[in-house]
Structure 1
Amino acid sequence: MAINWFPGHMVKTRREIKENLKLVDTVIEIRDARIPKSSSNPEIEELCKDKPRIILLNKSDLCDKNTTRKWLNSLTKNDVRAIEVNCVKGEGLKSIKPMMEELLKEKHDRLRAKGLQNITIRAMVVGIPNVGKSSFINKMAKNNIAKTGDRPGVTKSKQWIKTKIGIELMDTPGILWPKFEDQEVGLNLAFTGAIKDEIMDIEELSLKLVERLQSTYPKQLMERYKLTELSEDTLENLDAIGKKRGTIMAGGVIDYNRLANILLDEFRGGKIGNISLENPQ
């Protein structure tokens, strides 16, 4: 299942990020806590390598907590800090400013030595589509300045947002990269909604999702759909779920399109359980 999605505005975004880095002190990169590796754009890693960075593992209410703890340990290093957050509820966001001040201590000490006391931190907010950038900015600014949506590609241009805690945020549109070398990455992004369903074969995608879950989270899959057992045949499991959810058309045929929408919506909404799709190496 080959997956690629790179709209033209993302080329422009990549160029703007590179040009505007000189305007900020630090970078806040938002990732999906369920897929911290797949939701990390390697181009962002390269573009922002010379800036202190805070990685927010967002959607903490949807991930496997034990796996996320391992990711936090793996991602934290030198000039990079990582924290688990829920941008909708604001959980974990109070830790961001102290982390910024720690990362920027030497720079701020030099500024204070020159007599500057009220220091505003300017941060660029980056991330792939649909990881929660706009929700994060709205919560930090305490109003709905940034557009939000549950679909990728809502933010289309950069904008500055002031907060009441001495931080100014530069919002940027979500950016993917031209080609996924590892198709597992493409699947993870599609499962979590970072790639538009409209360009996907969602019936095949739902089959792939069941295949993944029956291997990694069989108990949650069985409990959600009231299955007494799982078959080694993924299609049989998909059919069993369809029958349990009543997605049957005339003649006893499964409506796979309707079933695919149900499965993807319930996975993305955390109704199947707290699930992480990848572990740190």
Structure 2
Amino acid sequence: MPAFAISFRPSLGAGLCRGHDSGVVRPCPRRGSVRVQGAKVAPTTTGRQPRKKHGDFPVEETRRVDVRWFRTLPRVARRGHQGRVLGIRDRVTHLPLSLGLFPPPTPSPPQSVGLVQWYPGHIAAAERSLQAKLAAVDLVVEVRDGRCPVASAHPALAGWCRGKRTLLLLNRVDMVGREERAAWSRHLREAGTPATWTDGRRGGGVREVEEAAARLGAALNARREARGLRPRAVRAAVVGFPNVGKSALINRLLGRRAADSAPRPGVTRQLTWARAGEQGNIDLLDTPGIIPVSLKDKAAAARLAMCNDIGEAAYTASRIAASFLDQVSVLPREAEIWAAIEARYRVRRGGITSEEYVERIAQRLFNAEVERAGQRILRDFRDLKFGEICLEVPSSTV
């Protein structure tokens, strides 16, 4: 049985296949000698110390252990925490001093998560391009998420669209209850910003958008005719937060799938024009989702995360799920929604905190993995497993 020298520094050419917790080190078929850190064997001094490089881990004594030539293994070892290939790019400095079974990392508790911030690099360029093109636009169609009309309102949009005709759309009407829709419609109408409820997936409210654009186009072309100019199509820019349904609405207006649309934020990355309307009298500008550089209202940012209007990399699912449960507790339909939540997970509320409730769901269904429990709660909310829920109640601030 051949013996192979194993020292405490990474090898630039060799690879190591770690299998189950058998305690046997098996080199990959491509090489006969490997260098790894932390073999659990009795040290045997060979009289030669490995060279120490700048930035490398401390020099340890060279250890020698007998290993078998494992010819039956494929070239790529098993994936996951039970098997991994160590190669030229691997750094074994921070790995445990064991070649056995590597357990998965312990997830952080929900209460230890920081603030929600998300600002992809393409959004800054998209905002600059949008502000430059707004000068040639006749109508600005602002799309908000109907589940959080306040949180999905961009604070700088009113300044960019000063002097322009605007049309406010509250999308995802199928995810908001009838009473909440009526309350928000009444509140926005009294505030002087009437809104139209739409459903980008099924086409609800599209006719109202076409009629509003047609009325604006008639008035616009009447003024152009008085000045001796030829009539033209109405130019409308569709703007709003990421993943509020802008591209889906544009596809409904066009009657075909012209804009990329997917149930995740950040799909649209460029500004594109498309002609819509039965008579081709509307030019639509599809824009990427715009979002403030800094989300100062952390409660509003959490509601955006609940509705999947910002990227998943910006938050921790367990913490946002706990915030969702806190938000449900202040809604008028609290008892009805909580009854649906308890019935789905079979976990009683019992006077515990939202973080503890997420942990109990994790213990019952997900082997105490709170992140998986948080992801399931958010996914069930977005899939209407708890019913139609509007996360915000009309107030004096819009």
- Normalising by structure 1, we get a TM-score of 0.88
Provide the C-alpha distance between the structure 1 equivalents of 2:347 and 2:301, rounded to a whole number of angstroms: 31
SS of 1:61 mapped into structure 2: helix
The AA in structure 1 aligned to 2:202 is K
Determine if the alignment matches structure 1 residue 255 to structure 2 residue 369: yes
| Alpha-carbon RMSD | 2.4
Long gaps (5+) in structure 2: 1-113
Q: Which residue of 1 aligns with 2:160?
A: 47
Q: 1:175: how far off? A: 0.8
Whole-Å Cα distance in 1 between the matches of residues 134 and 192 of structure 2?
Answer: 16
Per-residue CA shift, 1:150-194, capped at 9, x if unaligned? 111111110001113321101111011011221111111111111
Letter in 2 for 1:267: F
Judge conservation of contact 1:34–1:64 (CA < 8 Å) in 2: no
Identity level (%): 27
Q: Report how far residue 242 of structure 1 moved.
A: 4.6
Q: Which protein is richer in helix relative to its size?
A: 1
**Counterpart mapping for 1:93-108 below 5 A:** 93-103=206-216, 106-108=219-221
The structural deviation recorded for 1:241 is: 4.3
**C-alpha distance in 1 between matches for 2:183 and 2:330:** 20
Residue in 2 that maps onto 1:171? 286
* Alpha carbons of structure 1 residues 79 and 112: separation in structure 2 relative to 1, 3 Å: farther
Residue matched to 1:190:
305
Task: Select 1:143's aligned residue among 242, 256, 278.
Answer: 256
Aligned twin of 1:15? 128
221-230 or 126-135, larger mean C-alpha shift: 221-230
Per-residue Cα deviation, 1:86-131 (whole angstroms, up to 9, x for no partner): 0100011101122234456643432344566854111001011000
The alignment of Structure 1 onto Structure 2 pairs a total of residues equal to 275
Query: How far off its partner does 1:198 sit?
Result: 2.3
Using the alignment, how far apart are the partners of 1:242 and 1:225 within structure 2? Answer: 14
Deviations 1:191-239 (A, max 9, x none): 1111111231111111111222234233223224415853332244334
Give the number of the structure with larger relative contact order, counting CA–CA contacts within 8 Å between residues 6 or more apart.
Answer: 1
Aligned equivalent of 2:320: 205
Q: Take 1:130 and 1:106, find their aligned partners in 2: how far apart are those partners?
A: 32
Please say if residues 144 and 244 of structure 2, whose CA atoms lie closer than 8 Å, have aligned partners that are also in contact.
Answer: yes
| 2:393 aligned partner | 279
2:385 alignment partner, SS class: coil
3-state SS, counterpart of residue 284 of structure 2: strand
105 and 42 in structure 1: CA distance in 2 versus 1, 3 angstrom threshold: farther
Displacement of 1:63 after TM fit? 1.3
Larger radius of gyration: 2
Is it true that 1:180 corresponds to 2:315 in the alignment? no
Q: Are the counterparts in 2 of residues 158 and 170 from structure 1 also a CA contact under 8 Å?
A: yes
- SS of the aligned residue for 1:230 comes to coil
Residue 329 of structure 2 aligns to a residue in which SS?
helix
